[in-house]
Amino acid sequence: MSDSNNRHLLIAREISGVLSGVDPQRVEALGETILTAQRIFVCGAGRSLLMLKALAMRLMHLGLHSYVVGETITPAIRTGDLLIAGSGSGETRTTLAMVQAAHERGARTAAITAHPQSPIARACDLVVEIPAAIVGVSNQRVSTQPPGSLFEQCLLVLGDGLVLWLMERLGATYEEIRARHTKLE
């Protein structure tokens, strides 16, 4: 096996190891909160935001009303809505400000973070911890990957797993999801 394949397997093992430490009851609680929200908004910064954009897209494919904070067509958040914030460190100032603004407008908030005692996590109604080591925040063994990568990869996989759970709960079919997929390419 080449070194390149070995690196991919190393990454897959790291992801599997971290995700085995995620509390499934917390993920299910997030799923239930999504199902009761009128609209779902996602926010974050950098690669964490990219992973949550993928989740927002899948939520739309499920027929839910989902938005990405900062996009030009995103409406104002209000009571009955849910904001999902992603931040490995849980300390990103702009993300914290968005969580606080959502609370001020009556929305529920959820954080997906590696740091459950962080300012963002403390400001949210629900926290899902992805127990990945974060440079500068954790004394745990740090991933062999570039800083933040393991958290971000786990965030994407956790989101996709959540979508599968939501599909089951909603009785959504692949045909329904495919019908909502972009057809302009």
**Enzyme catalytic residues:** 152
Cα-based torsion angle of the residue sequence 91, 99, 55, 20 in order, rounded to the nearest 10 degrees = 50
* Residues 6+ positions from 24 with CB-CB distance below 8 Å: none
The two structure tokens encoding residue 17: 């190891």
Q: Is residue 136 left, alpha or beta, with left meaning phi > 0 and alpha meaning psi from -120 to 50?
A: left
Cα-based torsion angle of the residue sequence 56, 66, 29, 153 in order, rounded to the nearest 10 degrees = 10
Tell me the DSSP string of 64-117.
--EEETTSTT-----TT-EEEEEESSS--HHHHHHHHHHHHTT-EEEEEES-TT
